[in-house]
């Protein structure tokens, strides 16, 4: 537990991951663009830094969990960025969902400064983290992964090494598009049953007991009965990931018809003023089209 670990991006996901590192006994120095949102971590023992550079200067490894490619560029580059303060031999563990090209470019810059980068997006949500069930997809050198393994396992129990840097982001994009497509299919099943005369609650119960009830459907499906006040993964974030999937589909020649459809449904959700809700709110778009009431909002 002698390593000092850095954490840049202490939002809904990153903050909970940093807390698990603290709970495991690691010294953690962190940075968040909105400092006040990380005060609870400071009270738990995290040392708040004034910049990503300050985090990198203090840490043997720097975890990064930010919103998108623009946010990654902002925290990684420039005079106050991670690269400016990176120690020789340090690890950067990049967990954001960004394009494979973006993480490969960052990996080359980290290597030029004598460090190594692991491409390590996660599969799960804030609920998954708190339950100790988060999964990592990892791209990068095997030696770097073995060095980071104890830190990753302190956050979540499952690590899948998929190959070189960039391939973990590719795998994460492939998985995330499936979340939205599953939610659309689930919503159609429930609404078809409801419009034919089955109460919504009973239809949800039946689907969640059926062979199509994936882990994601089991925890997000009940949202159609009561949408949470705080989104686990809001419409904008999901559309960002769907955009990455559609771009990847174009470059690889893989048609993603269902991804394009659910993306349009989420655009409709934004048009209806539902952007702040969890992406499960696609149910409400379909409900309105079917002439049925939307989900209740908690």
Beta bridge partners of 29: 6, 47
* Cα distance between residue 8 and residue 158, in whole Å: 22
Q: Spell out the alpha helix ranges (H) of the chain.
A: 12-23, 39-43, 52-58, 69-76, 82-85, 100-112, 126-130, 142-155, 167-195, 200-208, 215-220, 235-252, 257-271, 282-289
In the structure encoding, which two tokens stand for residue 44, read together?
């738990």
Give pLDDT tens digits along the chain (298 positions). Answer: 578 999 999 998 999 999 999 999 999 999 999 999 999 999 999 999 999 999 999 999 999 999 999 999 999 999 999 999 999 999 999 999 999 999 999 999 999 999 999 999 998 888 889 888 899 999 999 999 999 999 999 999 999 999 999 999 999 999 999 999 999 999 999 999 999 999 999 999 999 999 999 999 998 999 999 999 889 899 999 999 999 999 999 999 999 999 999 999 999 999 999 999 999 999 999 999 999 999 987 6
* Cα distance between residue 64 and residue 30, in whole Å: 10
> How much is the pLDDT for 1?
59
Contacts of 7 (CB under 8 A, 6+ apart): 14, 17, 18, 21, 28, 29, 30, 31, 46, 55, 62, 63, 65
Beta-carbon count within 10 A of 143 CB: 9
Please answer whether residues 38 and 15 qualify as being in contact, where contact means their C-beta atoms are separated by less than 8 angstroms: yes
* Cα distance between residue 91 and residue 145, in whole Å: 10
* Cα distance between residue 213 and residue 8, in whole Å: 35
Domains (range + CATH), the chain: 4-164 (3.40.50.720), 170-289 (1.10.1040.10)
Dihedrals φ, ψ of 67, to 5°?
A: -70, -45
> How much is the pLDDT for 262?
98
User: Does the predicted TM-score (pTM) go above 0.85?
Assistant: yes
User: What per-residue string of b and e applies to 45-81 under the rule 16 or more CB within 10 Å gives b?
Assistant: ebebbebbbbbbbbbbbbbbbbbbbebbbbbbeeeeb
User: What per-residue string of b and e applies to 1-40 under the rule 16 or more CB within 10 Å gives b?
Assistant: eeeebbbbbbbbbbbbbbbbbbeeebbbbbbbbeeeebee
Indicate the SS3 state at residue 17: helix
Cα 223 to chain centroid, rounded: 19
> How much is the pLDDT for 298?
60
**C-alpha to C-alpha distances, 194 to 74, 184, 188, 200, 261, nearest whole angstrom:** 47, 15, 10, 5, 22
> How much is the pLDDT for 156?
95
User: What per-residue string of b and e applies to 163-192 under the rule 16 or more CB within 10 Å gives b?
Assistant: eebbbbbbbbbbbbbebbbbbbebbebbbe
Name the residue among 149, 159, 190, 221 with its Cα closest to residue 290.
Answer: 190
* Cα distance between residue 283 and residue 190, in whole Å: 9
In the block, residue with structure tokens 């070189």:
164
DSSP state of 49: P
């Amino acid at each position: 537990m002698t390593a000092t670990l850095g954490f840049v991006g202490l939002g809904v996901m990153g903050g909970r991951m940093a807390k698990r590192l603290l709970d495991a006994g690691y010294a953690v120095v962190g940075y968040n663009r909105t400092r006040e949102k990380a005060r609870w971590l400071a009270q738990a023992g995290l040392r708040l830094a004034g910049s990503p550079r300050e985090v990198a200067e203090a840490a043997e490894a720097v975890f990064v969990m930010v919103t998108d490619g623009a946010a990654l560029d902002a925290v990684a580059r420039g005079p106050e960025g991670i690269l400016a303060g990176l120690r020789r031999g340090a690890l950067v563990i990049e967990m954001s969902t960004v394009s494979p090209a973006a993480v490969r470019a960052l990996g080359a810059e980290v290597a030029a400064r004598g460090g190594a980068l692991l491409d390590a997006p996660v599969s799960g949500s804030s609920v998954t983290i708190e339950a100790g069930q988060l999964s990592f997809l990892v791209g990068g050198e095997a030696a770097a992964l073995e060095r980071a393994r104890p830190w990753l396992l302190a956050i979540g129990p499952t690590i899948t090494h998929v190959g070189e840097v960039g391939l973990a982001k590719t795998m994460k994009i492939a998985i995330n598009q499936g979340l939205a497509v599953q939610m659309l299919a689930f919503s159609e099943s429930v609404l078809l049953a409801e419009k034919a005369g089955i109460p919504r609650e009973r239809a949800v119960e039946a689907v969640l007991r059926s062979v199509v009830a994936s882990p994601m459907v089991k925890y997000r499906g009940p949202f159609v009965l009561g949408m949470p006040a705080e989104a686990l993964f809001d419409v904008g974030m999901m559309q960002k990931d769907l955009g990455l999937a559609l771009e990847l589909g174009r470059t690889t020649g893989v048609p993603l018809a269902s991804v394009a459809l659910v993306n349009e449904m989420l655009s409709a959700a934004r048009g209806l003023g539902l952007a702040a809700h969890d992406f499960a709110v696609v149910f409400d778009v379909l409900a309105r089209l079917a002439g049925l009431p939307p989900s209740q909002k908690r």
